[in-house]
Each structure stands twice: as structure tokens, then as C-alpha cells.
Structure 1
Amino acid sequence: MPRRHILSARQRSALLDLPTDEAALLRHYLLADDDLIHIDRRRRPENRIGFALQLCALRYPGRTLAPGELIPHTVSAFLGAQLGIAGETLAAYAVRRQTRHQHMEALRRIYGYRMFPGRGPYARAFRDWLLAEAEQARSNDDLARRFIARCRETMTILPAITTIERLCADALVAAERRIEKRIAARLDPVACDGLDRLTTEMLPGAISRFIWLRRIEPGNNSAAANRLLDRLEFLRAMNLNDGILAGVPPHRVARLRRQGERYFADGLRDLGADRRRAIMAVCVIEW
């Protein structure tokens, strides 16, 4: 399956990089007394600071450390100062991969972290939640932030960024289709027939009725005013009320309207019925 990238490199970095500024370190990487008890049970200094680092990374940004990941000096120094260990000691941590894995298992057992689910009831519940959030999200980055915040709240370890992007992209598409279907289901047969004719009825000049409605021509004379009034009268005669859009987030309505303002009649006719009618219904109501 090809990767679906919905985030820029800067957005990924903002979401998943370890904190480096003092305010963020104080907020996320201060160790509590209980933390120190668990950390002090590791015998070697490099294992103590490494264990602390893995714990802090689970808390924020909420992920595991990648093999060979370069740890910012500010992070190792901040943790080392709390443990009485030189930050440079971290370089000797987890020479044995098994040590890092054992520490991760211990952290999950002690603090209750769980891996991101691939299947099962929790996975289905998470996807249902994500779909609902996708309807409200205003951007790809917004939904990814909600995804990550949810994982932190539920102490779920973040999956790979490629998985986050794929799940968010799928949810955004599914949310858009669900909204289109919801709008289309509220249209009665008369409204559906009227909307369908907008792309098939041709006017002088070989333009469709839909393009004619969309073409707002500026002017300062009576002819231009009459053309505008003709369009407004036609739109009113369509008799579509804004109750059709009840419960649809305003930014979703705006998105559908923008799509209608870009499509030509041929392109609209190629769309599925629900999508086409939802776009045109929004345009008729919003125009």
C-alpha cells in the first residue's frame, strides 16, 4: 500500500520531536518521587538515565524512541541533572537492544501504557472516535493533533507517523463521504431532480444551468442587475432550505461550496449521485 502523506516535515517534527526548550522540559520531563523510585532500581547510571528517557518520551510526545535516535543534549542534561548523572552517560545506554526492550516492558507494566491496537474492540472504538473527530477537524494537522492527544489521554503508545497519517487520511475521506451522504439523504425526489437538471440543462452559449448560476457578472447597469435578479429568483425557486445542512460543521459546508465553485458540469456529472447532489445543494443554499 503506498504511503499517504498528509503532513509536512515541519508538522511531523512539531508533533513528534522531543522537547528541547526549557518551558517544555519543565512541563513534561520533571520526574516525580514515584518515578525516581522506579528509576533508582536500575543498577547502572546509563540504565537509570535511559529508563528515565524512555519514560519521558512515552509521556511526551507519546512514542517510543527509535533505534539509534539522536537525543538532544538539552534533554539528556535536564534528566541527568535530576538524577545526579552526567548527561553524556546516556551514550552508553542500551548497547544491548534487549535492555531497551526490557525497560519498555517494565514501563508498560508499571505505568499502564499499551501498544496502539491493530484490531479488536478497542481498535474499532478508536476508529469510530477518529471518524467523528474527522468531521470536526479543520485540517490534516488538526486531526493528527487530536489523534495524538487522544493517545496520550488513554496512555496508548503512538504508532509510526506513517500509520497516523494513513489513519487520519482515511478518516478524513470517510468523514467527507458520510457528510455528503447525510446531506443527500435529506433531499426529497423533487429536489434531487432539480439538482440533477442543473448539470444537464443547457442555455444559450452552450453553458449549463449550474455554470450560469455560478457566473456572477459585475456590472453597474440595469441589465446586470436584472441578470443577478434572475439568478436569485431561480435559486429561491429551488426551494432548498438551510435545514438540509443542519449539524454539518461550517468549515465542511465551505469546503463543499468551494468544490462546487471549481467544478464544471462535466466534472459534476462524473461524480457519484450523493457527492454531486450534496455539492450542488450546498452551492444553491449558500449562493
Structure 2
Amino acid sequence: INTRRRAANRFGCAVLLCLLRYPGFSLGPAVQPPEAMIAFIAHQLGIPATAFADYAQRDQTRRGHVIELQKYLGLRSFGLSDWRSSLRIGGNVAWATDRGEPIVLAILAHLRLSGVVIPSTMVLERIGLAARARARKKTFEVLAAGMPDAERNALLGLLTVDPELRRSRFAWLRDYSESPAPANIVSLLDRLDYVRAMGIDPTRAGRIHASRLARLTDEGAIMTVQHIADLEPARRTAILIAQISSLETRLTDVVLAMFEKYIGTLFSRARNRDERRFQATRRDVAKALLLFRQTIAALHQAKEAGEDGVSAVEREIGMDQLEGVLPVIGAVVGVARQDILVTAAERYAVLRRFSPRFLSAFEFRSNVPNDPVLAALELLRALNRGIIRTLPKRPPSACLPLQWRKLIFAGGSADRRLYETAILAVLRDKLRGSNI
């Protein structure tokens, strides 16, 4: 710096030295460094900050300084080979993201490590965009590589209008209700079966980075069917593959969540029905209690008078009236003692609308060795498929509460309605706890 004669040249040479060392780029003719940097260097050099304005009135002077300083710092100018290596580095980063910042930061780190002067912002932007475009193209190619014509035609068929549905299959697959109801569970299972029947290799989605797959999935989720149909073929195929992969996962999650909600609602409503039934007997209960109180009073008076208790009750109340209330008491006791499982099983026919398909749609696994719940599910599947016609005398029941086991086997053999309802309830609890 001190070899420069004029103060302005010493100032300019110092600024160039700082910029080339870090961030690693030169000073263009129209670039003005930050005022704080100018003030800091001016203080170090003992030169007025205003002197920098006179620097490099001849651009040749600035270029000469740049060449000298590159040699001094061991740097070289950005060339074609650096363009190619930067594109490769940027493409590697873009394999996982579409965001420009991490792509450019990786390119900058590579150039600094290689001792290359950083090019202009415009050049960096062009490399970053080219790297992102290359990564996208590679993503499309990898996803569709080796795809049989049958799979490709199945994907394209999603975008055509189905006469039966009066809309495209793709729109149908994405449009479903999440309200917990048997009809909605069946509708979701229809969609899940359709996606699986398409035969798209599930390992395809795993060929690309998870972040890139998520990006494709998000893109497709906000596109209309018409928009997807108008895309260029490679991108359209890639987005459809990502969507189908995502749809199978989403439909599975929604079916399981809906099953859990519906079984929970089934037992909640059963409890409410029992409460309403008991509330409906309030007047009969009050009448029975009144007679009970009168009977106790009559017996008490008879004891004090040394009179026969039965005679006193017959005179004061009448045995006919007491016997008449016995059916009411029996009915009230029956309502009060009825287990919630019995009430829930009253909806067994509704459960059967979806339970066979639900159980056959998934492979359940447990973190408990020899889990009796899984044995019970296999038994129900065998019944649903007609492999066996009746429950065995002692089906797997160790997973059920003792009170439920007593109810199920009260008649000597298992009650299928109660047993199947109880197993589905236990399955729901196990799924919620992630034990199955």
C-alpha cells in the first residue's frame, strides 16, 4: 500500500486488498463500499475518507492493482472451469432444496476454498438458477426412470374425466370428507384401494431427496388438474408420482384417524344413550322409592305395636301395589347395570359396514411379542373372508377387560357381536397409544 505515491491510490489499494481477502471479490467501477468500511480504513491509513472519491479515475489503475493483489493473495480470476465446478456444486445442493440462498452459499464456499475471485452477482445468480434447473431436471428423470408403460398410462389416466364420476380421478382422490362416519370410511378405503391398484412402484419416491419430494408434493397440492395436464411431460409425471406417493400416506393416516374417532364416538354415544334411558325412568324410580319408604314406615309401626309386618303392609299399602312395581324396578336395575359394551354393540350392524374392509386394508404390527390383539384381528379376518364360519369356543381375549370377558362368555360361548365390538375398541386404544 505504501508503495503507491498518491493518497487516493493508497486508499483504493487498501480497499481492494480487504475486499479480495473477504468476501473475495474485486471492486467494480460503479461499486461504492459501505461508509463504515471507508471510515475504518481511512483511520488505519491516516488518510481523509474523502480521498477515496478520487481513486481510479483511470480504470486501468484499478485493474493493475487487482492483478497485483491477486498475485499477492494467491488468487486467480474466475474462468470457464470454475463456472463448471460451481454449477456442479450448486447442483448438488439444489438436489435437496429450491432455495437460492444455500445454493449460492455453497458456490461461494467452493470458490473461496479454490482461491478464485468471486464473480459478479449476476454471474452467481445465473449459476444458481442453472444449478436449480439441472437439479429439477435430474429429479424428474430419476423419478420416471424405467417406468413401464402401464404405470405411465395409469398416471395419465388420472387427469382424464371419468364418465361415472363426472370428474377426473385425480380430483376425486383429493376430495374427501374427514367427518367420522361409516360411509366416509368406506369412501376413503375406496380411494386407498384405487391408489394401490394403480401399481406405481412405492420405492420411486425414495429415489430423490426427501426435501425435493416434499417440494414436488406441495407444488402438486396447489395445482388444478388442468394446470398439471398442461405441464411439460417430465415435470407432469414427476408431480403425479409424488402426489400418488403422498396420497397413499395421507389416505392411510386419515382412515386410521377416522376409525379412532368413530369408535370413540360410538362408545360416547352409547354412554349418553344409557344415561338418557336411566333419566327416562326417573318417575318410575320416584314411585318405587315412595312405596319403599311407605313400606318401611308400615313395618316400623307394626314392630312397635307388636303386629304382624305382612298384615300391616297389606293394610297400609297393599301387596298388589308392591307387586305391580316389581317390573319397573327390574327394568330400572337392568338399565343401571348394563355395560357400555352392550349398548355400543347395538350398533354392530353399522360397524359391519366398514370393519371387514378396514381390517383387510392394513397389516397391523405390535411392539408386544405374541400380542393377543393381533391374534384376535386374524380371527376376525378369517371370519370376514369365510375361512371359518363361527367363533371358536374360546377366541383370543386376554387383551379384553375382565368385565367384558364375563359379558362375552356369559352364555357359555362367545357372543360375536360383543366380541368384535370389544376387539375394535381395544384396537382403537392401541392405535392411539402407538402400541399397534
Q: Where does residue 229 of structure 1 map in the other structure?
A: 189
Q: Structure 2: any 5+ residue segments left out of the alignment?
A: 248-436
Q: Where does residue 217 of structure 2 map in the other structure?
A: 257
Distance 2:138 2:206 in 1: 14
When residues 188 and 114 of structure 1 are mapped into structure 2, their CA distance, relative to the original with a 3 A threshold, is same
RCO comparison, higher one (Cα < 8 Å, 6+) = 1
8 Å CA contact retained: 1:113, 1:157: yes
8 Å CA contact retained: 2:90, 2:104: no
Aligned length: 247
Distance 2:236 2:22 in 1: 43
Q: Structure 1: any 5+ residue segments left out of the alignment?
A: 1-38
Q: Where does residue 130 of structure 1 map in the other structure?
A: 90
Summarize the alignment of residues 241-280 of structure 1 with structure 2, pairs less than 5 Å apart: 241-280=201-240
Q: Percent identity?
A: 31
Q: Note if 1:148 corresponds to 2:133.
A: no
When residues 161 and 101 of structure 1 are mapped into structure 2, their CA distance, relative to the original with a 3 A threshold, is same
8 Å CA contact retained: 1:241, 1:285: no
Distance 1:203 1:285 in 2: 25
Q: Quick one: which amino acid aligns to residue 259 of structure 1? A: E
Q: Where does residue 380 of structure 2 map in the other structure?
A: none
Per-residue Cα deviation, 1:121-171 (whole angstroms, up to 9, x for no partner): 443333223222221334122222222332222232232222222221222
8 Å CA contact retained: 1:49, 1:80: yes
Q: Note if 1:100 corresponds to 2:94.
A: no
Q: Which of 34, 38, 41 lines up with 1:79 in the alignment?
A: 41
Q: Where does residue 78 of structure 2 map in the other structure?
A: 116
8 Å CA contact retained: 1:148, 1:158: yes
Per-residue Cα deviation, 1:92-116 (whole angstroms, up to 9, x for no partner): 3223322211101111222232222
Q: What SS does the corresponding residue of 1:220 show, helix, strand or coil? A: coil
- State which structure, 1 or 2, has the greater radius of gyration over its C-alpha atoms: 2
Q: What SS does the corresponding residue of 2:158 show, helix, strand or coil? A: helix
8 Å CA contact retained: 1:191, 1:238: yes
Q: Where does residue 15 of structure 1 map in the other structure?
A: none
Q: Quick one: which amino acid aligns to residue 103 of structure 2? A: L
TM-aligned CA deviation for residue 175 of structure 1? 1.1
Q: What SS does the corresponding residue of 1:177 show, helix, strand or coil? A: helix
Distance 2:207 2:50 in 1: 55
Distance 1:216 1:156 in 2: 56
Q: What SS does the corresponding residue of 1:159 show, helix, strand or coil? A: coil
Summarize the alignment of residues 138-177 of structure 1 with structure 2, pairs less than 5 Å apart: 138-177=98-137
When residues 248 and 193 of structure 1 are mapped into structure 2, their CA distance, relative to the original with a 3 A threshold, is same
Q: Where does residue 148 of structure 2 map in the other structure?
A: 188
TM-score (norm 1): 0.76
Q: Where does residue 44 of structure 1 map in the other structure?
A: 6
TM-score (norm 2): 0.52
Distance 1:101 1:252 in 2: 43
8 Å CA contact retained: 2:89, 2:106: no
Per-residue Cα deviation, 1:164-195 (whole angstroms, up to 9, x for no partner): 22221222122111101110005333322322
Q: Note if 1:212 corresponds to 2:172.
A: yes
Summarize the alignment of residues 8-87 of structure 1 with structure 2, pairs less than 5 Å apart: 39-87=1-49
Q: Where does residue 24 of structure 1 map in the other structure?
A: none
TM-aligned CA deviation for residue 242 of structure 1? 4.1
Q: Quick one: which amino acid aligns to residue 268 of structure 1? A: I
